[in-house]
Chain A
Amino acid sequence: MEIVHVYTKLRSEFGRQCLLSDRPAELLVDVPPDPSLALQFTQKTPRDQAAQACRDMSEHQVNTERFESESCGINHVEGGWPKDVNPLEMEQTIRFRKKVEKDESYINSIQQLGGVSDHCIGQNNSVDIYPEYFEDEEEVEEIQEPASAKTINVFRDPNEVKRTVTGLSWHPDGGRKLAAAYSCLEFQRTSKDTSLDSYIWDIENPNRPEMALKPASPLICLDYNPKDSHTLVGGCYNGQIAYWDTRRGSQPVEFSSVEQSHRDPVYKIIWLQSKTGTDAFSASTDGQVLWWDVRRLSEPTERLVLDPSREGNLDRALGAISLEFESTMPTKFMVGTEQGVVVSCNRKAKTPAEKIVCTYDGHHGPVYALQRNPFFPKNFLTVGDWTARIWSEDIKESSIMWTRYQMSYLTDACWSPVRPSVFFTVKMDGMLDVWDILFKQNDPTLSLKVCDEALYSLRVQDNGRLVACGSQQGGATLLEICSGLSTLQKNEKSLLAAMFERETKREKILEARQREIRLKERSRSEQSRDEDGGRDDGDDSPDQLIARAEKDFYSVVETELRRRRDQEDQTNRMPSQQLLLRNQEVQPKPWDQNRDQNQNQEQPELPHDKQEQDGEQLVYK
């Protein structure tokens, strides 16, 4: 149906003014409703439809690639001079200036501005805007906030093929830079494309490393010289030692000769205290500890073979995995080995045989980290297999304190340089644990999941607040620890000293008891040998030993499972006494009679364990 209305106007009438007049309404079109059409539609009420007369649009989100920005400054060059004045010519500029000074508006404005500036300068001089009002007020007691740590930055390996961060070292002056050693420690996993570089990062800039170090073979460990912050020394995968000076570029200044270096990857290298400040020593799994003077890396100045039988026999040497050196005790150093033994050595001994003073056997696997407590050098921390152990130098039989067996392998640990009772450990499941042994001994005070892959290295900065840990995929994470864990608490040193003393004393008593038992066993076995003529009583056959070991193992696993189930039911229930759980919750009170009583109660249980060890010892004789 077409609705049409026609307008007509005579040409001659164009332009004429409009004369409007009233007219009655006229129906032009009437469209009645057609019910037959309604059959094609269905009633739908209410109807809610929004209509908008606009173009169809769709929304997408796109994440752009990381934008790398660099900031640099621009040098201002004189400009703004009028065309006829040459800014380089003194005469012309002086003339121009003099001309301006004669200008009236100049004079007026300067007089006015001078008054204003005067007022403000006077303000600065008269009132001390930031006075110290409450200087004498005593320090408020710090509220114990829950321990926390937060990630500040992650420095990722810029190469395609990611390598593990195996070594970390903080810059000695203030710690604004972090040197990280990258290498792939898995046997024969490195491809030809894997980069050999290690990097020095500025902690403010995680986008790009500040400097690259280019050795001939990947670096496993590196160390900044504490005396000279420009020099670094690093140990390579092929056993060589390399020496860098950051002022001289990325290439090493000198390399040690291949024949005179280690035969296995150098796992640890540390600078020594010396008058010249150029001495370092390194350790490797080939069983040697070598001393170097970095001015002449062609051959080591001294050599030590870690042979426990003190004969210097390389075949029987223990492979070294970690080194420890405390600058307050320059003549002693300690080596942690692959066999789980910590060897304490004296540098100043005359003969190589006397160099090895004593050994501490405690771990089932390689001792990955070894460090003396910076406040109590007689006590040191070792990490290996699934535990972290604290030792006292005097007790050689066992560690004085240890953590319970963790769920995954511990790979590195270090003490906090500001709090004597705090140490950090990293594990293969990517967790960083902060242990405060004055606060809680059974569990870490703070447990953080840093990343999904295994963590291999850990270093705390000298201020105790920043911690860097390196992972398997080449990511070095920088974390900041809360102030509660990085500021020295009241009485902390004395409390910790008391704790160490207590534990040492306990171990001494246990050692003495164990010796007594062994003597008794020996005398008993001798007696029975006389009686029976030749039958060894103390000997257990290997099968019986295996059966006993199996039984112990299963009982331990069962108690652990039970404990976990109990913990799930009741979160507050204390774990039941297990064979492995020996440390009690610490209350900082002095050594008193109650302790001795507890000691006596514990004793009947322990000989069972020690007896097993005795049995083994007798067999292997």
Chain B
Amino acid sequence: MLTDAHCCFQAEVEETLKRIQGQKGVQGIIIVNSEGIPIKTTLDNSSTVQYAGLIHQLVMKARSTIRNIDPQNDLTFLRVRSKKNEIMIAPDKDYFLIVIQNPSD
């Protein structure tokens, strides 16, 4: 039973990710855990590893910055807009979701 519930929950996760991937301009999604290990990815291995490692450090830094300024505050979302694309990072307690998108302008 537990496995059944898990399966349908897992399917929901899959559906969520598919929906995000299907949005216009999205180039890739990576899910990274709190240790920097990429759990799920739609990009190739080398890019994934690179993104996971670098962005993990960036999120830690951003979070500590927000916390240092106001201890009650916390990081909810991080967007890094660059010349070629935009990297959106949604952090959570244990995981974070990285979406790389090419904005349509």
Which residues of A pack against B, CB within 8 Å? 76, 78-82, 96-97, 100-102, 104-107, 109-118, 120-122, 124-125, 128-131
B10 beta carbon closer than 8 Å to chain A: yes
A31 to chain B, nearest CB (A): 58
The reply to whether the CB of B93 lies closer than 8 angstroms to some CB of chain A is: yes
Which single member of B20, B35, B53, B54 contacts A121 (CB below 8 Å)?
B20
Chain B stretch 19-58: residues in CB contact (< 8 A) with chain A: 19-20, 23-26, 31, 33, 35-37, 39-40, 49-50, 53-54
Cβ-defined partner of B37 (8 Å) among A81, A115, A120, A124:
A81
Across the interface, do A97 and B90 meet the contact criterion of CB distance under 8 Å? no
User: In the complex, are the beta carbons of A112 and B92 less than 8 A apart?
Assistant: yes
Contact across chains for B88 and A117 when beta carbons are under 8 A apart: yes
* Bound form: Cα–Cα A189–B54 in Å: 55
Contact A114 B97 (CB under 8 A): yes
Q: Is A107's CB under 8 angstroms from B92's CB?
A: no
Q: Please report whether the interface of chain B is mostly helix, strand, loop or mixed according to DSSP.
A: mixed
Closest 3 CB pairs of A and B: A114-B16, A76-B53, A80-B35
- Considering only residues 86-102 of chain B, those with a C-beta below 8 Å from chain A are 86, 88, 90, 92-97, 99, 101
A80-B35, A101-B10 known; A120+B77 contact, CB < 8 A: yes
Task: State whether A107 and B13 are in contact (beta carbons under 8 Å apart), knowing that A102-B6, A117-B20 are contacts in the complex.
Answer: yes
Other-chain residue from B6, B9, B25, B96 in contact with A124 (beta carbon distance below 8 A): B25
Q: Which residues of B contact A81 (CB under 8 A)?
A: 35, 37
Cβ 8 A contact of A106, one of B20, B49, B53, B95: B95
Distance in angstroms from A478 CB to nearest chain B CB is 26
17 examples of A-B residue contacts, CB within 8 angstroms: A76-B54, A78-B37, A80-B37, A101-B10, A106-B95, A107-B9, A110-B16, A113-B97, A114-B13, A114-B16, A114-B19, A116-B90, A117-B20, A120-B99, A124-B101, A124-B104, A128-B104
CB contact between A120 and one of B31, B36, B88 (< 8 Å): that residue: B88
B4 within 8 A of A: no
B: which residues have CB within 8 A of A? 6, 9-10, 12-13, 16-17, 19-20, 23-26, 31, 33, 35-37, 39-40, 49-50, 53-54, 76-77, 79, 86, 88, 90, 92-97, 99, 101, 103-105
Residue from B13, B37, B93, B99 having most chain A Cβ neighbours under 10 A = B37
Contacts of B16 in A (CB 8 A): 110-111, 114-115
What B residues does A122 contact at CB under 8 A?
23
Task: Give Cα distance in the complex from A185 to B96, angstroms.
Answer: 65
Q: Which residues of A contact B33 (CB under 8 A)?
A: 100
Query: Known contacts being A121-B23, A121-B88, is A109 close to B95, with CB within 8 Å?
Result: yes
